[in-house]
């Protein structure tokens, strides 16, 4: 087995280093990838992937990309309107981020964990400069769910209270603590029981429901550490709350002495038309979780951040109360530094706002034209949800777009809502081409209804 593994790794290292592969090699890679996923990763994934079911004779296997366009291993080209669910705000392989990571790779890829690694400090200072309110300190990990786990932990340590108030249909990650906060039974039920502390789910956007729950908990003596919410719900379908929701959350948290946590893993770094989702309502959270696009689409990196007062529990009496061996290493931090630089230099949140307004208005025109297909269109910036009357119709739209070279996706297990999350650097010409292909798709789908 070990000799087989050595030979197999050698063959794939040769493929990785090849600048191009032949059509025959590409077809072999597709066959091998399907087998590997089915036999060694997750056979169920293949049943949900349009790349397998809607790609014709050969499944689409992503291979290379630039900007808002990627190509599969056979050279077929797709406009990316999924953006890795918010991961690829800067597009595929942004040259500044790639060059920065390559330069750091030649210096040192991972930290000693004993000495001071300078890029971690640089990134922490940058986060203090760009985050809302009085946030000053950050801890870095690799994924969004780790950032949420850290936020939960800090809130509990600071308040010394066990409870949380979260939203129905919320998505916060799938590790056990984050999963306890998540608002969908699809992911929670198979892993029950979850977090031991009390977690109360209320309708998203309903500040009165939050207030009622806080009042009940105070009356019966249940301590609430924090209210945890997404500024705009992403996986639920780009659901925007009423304009008074976040300001009222801030007021309620202050009144009841609980912390306010903003899960900006998907909304942060410009996606919604502001640098941070909470900036739409000028609200400063006590703790902020960020991930996905923080690594510029090149390296996995996430963070949870808070104020100097709250962060004392991370420093005293035990500064090693929360650690990770691989999170926030030099490669990840270098990518995040470059991603922040590009985001600020190009003011990508303004691009997201302008392009999102245009894109959404055109989608609403199509929704009006095809009321038998669409229920409504929601979202802010370039986090847009197309809501259909049923999942079957949504899947037909997603599949039709994929056949026409546009990648979109629904929620993880349903196509009732199709999210549009293209890279923020997508051009207007590309948006218009997506709209043209969508129009053709809708014409085709309408004939089947």
Say which CATH number the domain at 395 has: 3.90.1150.10
Q: Which residues of the chain have pLDDT under 50?
A: none
Boundary-marking domain end, from 289, 319, 345: 345
Does residue 195 sit in helix, strand or coil?
Answer: coil
The verdict on residue 86 lying in a domain is: no
The verdict on residue 232 lying in a domain is: yes
Provide the token pair at 400. Answer: 């039709």
**410 to each of 3, 70, 163, 231, 281, how far by Cα in Å?**
42, 19, 31, 20, 27
Domain that holds residue 132: 95-345
The verdict on residue 362 lying in a domain is: yes
Within this chain, do residues 156 and 135 fall inside the same structural domain, yes or no? yes
Rounded CA separation 159/315 (Å): 15
Task: Read off the pTM.
Answer: 0.95
Provide the token pair at 120. Answer: 């971690």
Q: What is the pLDDT of residue 57?
A: 78
Which of 204, 200, 303 shows the shortest CA–CA distance to 258?
200
DSSP structure class, residue 241:
P
Distance between alpha carbon 22 and the CA centroid of its chain, in Å? 34
Burial class (CB within 10 angstroms; exposed 0-12, middle 13-18, buried 19+) of 36? exposed
Within this chain, do residues 290 and 367 fall inside the same structural domain, yes or no? no
DSSP per residue, 251-265: HHHHHHT-EEEEE-T
Within this chain, do residues 272 and 418 fall inside the same structural domain, yes or no? no
Bridge partner residues of 374 (DSSP): 388
Within this chain, do residues 160 and 230 fall inside the same structural domain, yes or no? yes
Boundary-marking domain end, from 308, 323, 345: 345
Bridge partner residues of 376 (DSSP): 387
> pLDDT by residue (tens digit) across 1-60?
899 999 999 999 999 999 889 999 999 999 999 899 999 989 988 877 777 778 887 888
Q: In the chain, how many domains are there?
A: 2
Within this chain, do residues 294 and 417 fall inside the same structural domain, yes or no? no
Within this chain, do residues 357 and 337 fall inside the same structural domain, yes or no? no
Q: Cβ(408)–Cβ(81) under 8 Å? A: yes
Say which CATH number the domain at 183 has: 3.40.640.10
Q: What is the pLDDT of residue 411?
A: 66
Within this chain, do residues 70 and 167 fall inside the same structural domain, yes or no? no
In the block, residue with structure tokens 């049943």? 47
The verdict on residue 332 lying in a domain is: yes
Bridge partner residues of 135 (DSSP): 307
Within this chain, do residues 49 and 123 fall inside the same structural domain, yes or no? no
Within this chain, do residues 293 and 177 fall inside the same structural domain, yes or no? yes
The verdict on residue 63 lying in a domain is: yes
In the block, residue with structure tokens 């050279």? 75
The verdict on residue 8 lying in a domain is: no
Boundary-marking domain end, from 326, 345, 364: 345
Rounded CA separation 438/62 (Å): 22
Biggest CA–CA distance in the chain, Å, is 70
Rounded CA separation 163/173 (Å): 18
The verdict on residue 163 lying in a domain is: yes
Q: Cβ(272)–Cβ(280) under 8 Å? A: yes
First to last CA, the chain: 54
DSSP structure class, residue 1:
-
Q: What is the pLDDT of residue 56?
A: 80
Q: What is the pLDDT of residue 412?
A: 60
The verdict on residue 6 lying in a domain is: no
Within this chain, do residues 215 and 340 fall inside the same structural domain, yes or no? yes
Within this chain, do residues 28 and 156 fall inside the same structural domain, yes or no? no
Which of 347, 345, 265 shows the shortest CA–CA distance to 301?
265
Within this chain, do residues 327 and 194 fall inside the same structural domain, yes or no? yes
């Amino acid at each position: 087995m070990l000799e087989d593994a050595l030979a197999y790794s050698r063959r794939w290292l040769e493929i990785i280093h090849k600048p191009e592969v032949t059509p025959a090699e590409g077809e072999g890679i597709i066959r091998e990838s399907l087998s590997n996923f089915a036999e060694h990763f997750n056979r169920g994934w293949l049943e949900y992937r349009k790349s397998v079911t809607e790609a014709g004779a050969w499944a689409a296997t992503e291979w290379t990309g630039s900007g808002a366009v990627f190509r599969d291993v056979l050279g077929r080209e797709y406009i990316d309107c999924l953006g890795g669910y918010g991961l690829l705000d800067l597009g595929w392989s942004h040259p500044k981020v790639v060059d920065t990571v390559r330069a750091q790779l030649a210096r040192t890829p991972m930290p000693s964990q004993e000495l001071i690694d300078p890029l971690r400090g640089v990134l922490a200072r940058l986060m203090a400069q760009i985050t809302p309110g009085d946030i000053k300190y950050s801890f870095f990990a690799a994924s969004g769910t780790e950032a949420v786990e850290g936020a939960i932990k800090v809130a509990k340590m600071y308040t010394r209270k066990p409870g949380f108030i979260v939203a129905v249909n919320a998505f916060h990650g799938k590790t056990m603590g984050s999963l306890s906060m998540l608002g969908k039974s699809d992911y929670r039920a198979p892993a029950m029981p979850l977090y031991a502390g009390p977690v109360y789910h209320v309708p998203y956007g309903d500040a009165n429901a939050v207030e009622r729950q806080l009042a009940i908990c105070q009356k019966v003596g249940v301590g609430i550490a924090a209210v945890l919410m997404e500024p705009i719900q992403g996986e639920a379908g780009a659901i925007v709350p009423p304009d008074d929701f976040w300001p009222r959350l801030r007021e309620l948290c202050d009144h009841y002495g609980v912390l306010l946590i903003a899960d900006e893993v998907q909304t942060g770094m410009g996606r919604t038309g502001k640098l941070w989702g909470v900036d739409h309502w000028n609200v400063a959270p006590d703790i902020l979780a960020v991930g996905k696009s923080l690594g510029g689409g090149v390296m996995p990196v996430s963070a949870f951040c808070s104020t100097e007062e709250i962060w004392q529990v991370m420093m005293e009496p035990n500064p090693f109360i929360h650690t990770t061996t691989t999170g926030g290493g030099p490669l990840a931090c270098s990518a995040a530094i470059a991603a922040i630089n590009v985001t600020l230099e190009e003011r990508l949140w303004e691009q997201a706002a302008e392009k999102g307004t245009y894109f959404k208005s055109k989608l609403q025109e199509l929704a009006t034209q095809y009321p038998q297909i669409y229920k409504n269109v929601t979202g802010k910036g370039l986090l847009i949800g197309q809501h259909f009357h049923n999942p079957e119709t949504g899947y037909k739209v997603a599949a039709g777009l994929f056949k026409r070279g546009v990648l979109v996706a629904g929620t993880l297990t349903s196509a009732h809502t199709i999210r549009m999350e293209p890279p923020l650097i997508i051009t207007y010409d590309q948006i218009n081409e997506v709209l043209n292909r969508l129009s053709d798709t809708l014409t085709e789908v309408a004939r089947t209804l």
